[in-house]
Amino acid sequence: MAIIKIKAPIWSSRSIGVAEFRMTDPVLRIQIEYKEKDGNKLYPGTYSISRERAMTYPSQVLPQGVKLRIIPIEDLEREAER
Protein backbone atom coordinates (compact mmCIF):
# COMPACT_ATOMS: atom_id res chain seq x y z
CA MET A 1 0.00 0.00 0.00
CA ALA A 2 1.53 3.30 -1.11
CA ILE A 3 1.73 6.27 1.23
CA ILE A 4 0.42 9.60 -0.05
CA LYS A 5 2.73 12.42 1.08
CA ILE A 6 1.22 15.85 1.65
CA LYS A 7 3.68 18.79 1.74
CA ALA A 8 1.52 21.11 3.86
CA PRO A 9 -2.07 21.30 5.13
CA ILE A 10 -4.65 23.82 3.96
CA TRP A 11 -4.33 26.15 6.95
CA SER A 12 -7.63 28.03 6.63
CA SER A 13 -9.68 24.85 7.04
CA ARG A 14 -7.17 22.58 8.83
CA SER A 15 -7.56 20.05 6.05
CA ILE A 16 -5.55 18.37 3.30
CA GLY A 17 -6.09 18.13 -0.43
CA VAL A 18 -5.66 14.64 -1.88
CA ALA A 19 -5.60 14.21 -5.66
CA GLU A 20 -8.21 11.72 -6.81
CA PHE A 21 -5.75 10.04 -9.19
CA ARG A 22 -3.63 9.11 -6.14
CA MET A 23 -6.56 7.32 -4.46
CA THR A 24 -5.85 3.85 -5.84
CA ASP A 25 -6.06 1.68 -2.71
CA PRO A 26 -9.22 0.86 -0.68
CA VAL A 27 -7.53 2.43 2.37
CA LEU A 28 -5.51 5.60 1.87
CA ARG A 29 -2.36 6.01 3.98
CA ILE A 30 -1.29 9.62 4.36
CA GLN A 31 1.75 11.40 5.80
CA ILE A 32 1.77 15.18 6.31
CA GLU A 33 5.36 16.26 5.75
CA TYR A 34 5.06 19.84 7.05
CA LYS A 35 7.67 20.72 9.72
CA GLU A 36 7.73 23.58 12.21
CA LYS A 37 10.71 25.94 12.52
CA ASP A 38 12.32 23.64 15.09
CA GLY A 39 12.25 20.76 12.57
CA ASN A 40 9.52 18.70 14.26
CA LYS A 41 6.56 17.52 12.23
CA LEU A 42 3.32 19.21 13.22
CA TYR A 43 1.38 16.04 12.30
CA PRO A 44 3.79 13.14 12.93
CA GLY A 45 3.08 9.58 11.95
CA THR A 46 0.84 8.05 9.33
CA TYR A 47 -2.89 8.62 9.00
CA SER A 48 -5.53 6.63 7.18
CA ILE A 49 -9.01 6.97 5.72
CA SER A 50 -11.02 4.68 3.45
CA ARG A 51 -11.17 5.66 -0.21
CA GLU A 52 -14.96 5.36 -0.03
CA ARG A 53 -15.17 7.91 2.79
CA ALA A 54 -12.57 10.23 1.19
CA MET A 55 -14.69 10.43 -1.97
CA THR A 56 -17.61 11.90 0.04
CA TYR A 57 -15.73 15.12 0.86
CA PRO A 58 -15.99 18.28 -1.26
CA SER A 59 -13.79 18.53 -4.32
CA GLN A 60 -11.69 21.32 -5.75
CA VAL A 61 -10.19 21.47 -9.24
CA LEU A 62 -6.76 23.06 -9.58
CA PRO A 63 -5.93 25.25 -12.61
CA GLN A 64 -3.91 22.31 -14.02
CA GLY A 65 -7.10 20.22 -14.03
CA VAL A 66 -6.21 18.02 -11.05
CA LYS A 67 -9.24 17.20 -8.91
CA LEU A 68 -8.60 17.22 -5.14
CA ARG A 69 -10.74 15.95 -2.29
CA ILE A 70 -10.56 18.32 0.69
CA ILE A 71 -10.40 16.17 3.84
CA PRO A 72 -10.34 17.65 7.37
CA ILE A 73 -7.30 16.45 9.30
CA GLU A 74 -9.49 15.69 12.34
CA ASP A 75 -11.36 13.07 10.24
CA LEU A 76 -8.18 11.09 9.55
CA GLU A 77 -7.35 8.14 11.82
CA ARG A 78 -3.84 8.05 13.20
CA GLU A 79 -2.24 4.64 12.67
CA ALA A 80 -0.50 2.92 15.57
CA GLU A 81 3.30 3.08 15.48
CA ARG A 82 4.88 -0.18 14.30
Across residues 12-16, what is the average pLDDT? Answer: 96
- Residue spans of the domains in the chain: they are 3-76
What is the C-alpha to C-alpha distance for residues 30 and 46, in angstroms, rounded to an integer?
6
Residue 82 has pLDDT above 70, yes or no: no
DSSP the chain: -PEEEESS-BGGGTEEEEEGGG--SSEEEEEE--B-TTS-BSS-S-EEEEHHHHTTS-EEE-TTS-EEEEEEGGGSEEPPP-
Across residues 29-44, what is the average pLDDT? Answer: 95
Residue 44 has pLDDT above 70, yes or no: yes
What is the C-alpha to C-alpha distance for residues 1 and 68, in angstroms, rounded to an integer?
20
Residue 28 has pLDDT above 80, yes or no: yes
Q: So what's the pLDDT on residue 63?
A: 95
pTM exceeds 0.85: yes
Across residues 32-55, what is the average pLDDT? Answer: 95
Across residues 38-66, what is the average pLDDT? Answer: 96
Is residue 39 within 8 A of residue 13, CB to CB? The reply is: no
